[in-house]
Amino acid sequence: MKISVYHNPRCRKSRTGLDLVKTKTDEIDIIDYLNTGISAITIKKLAQQLNVKITDMIRTQEDYFKKELKGKTFSDEEWRQIISENPKLLKRPIVVKGNKAAIVETVDDLERLF
């Protein structure tokens, strides 16, 4: 089964996660969402596959979050649109296998998919 990886090649955690996936399979679809974009609908689906709240997918250490979003309240729909318009806010790498997904930073994260 092909594995999809939402990947940012400039991110150390994302590179590490991708390397972990490569230890399990070579059937990988790498999605460079910073260049191709990511829709609010895709973000909604990923949240469902991850089984997390949309706010759990946000990188709160990003400058844009700190300066523009911290302390503000948005609906899930608004958060999805904000992430779609500012894809650096999305935690990575998100690894999708079938109907399941995980934010893979450790071997244990990856094992939940296999």
Mind telling me the catalytic residues? 11
Contact assessment for residue 92 and residue 7, using Cβ atoms and an 8 Å cutoff: yes
DSSP 52-104: --GGGGB-TTSHHIIIIITT----HHHHHHHHHH-GGGB-S-EEEETTEEEE-
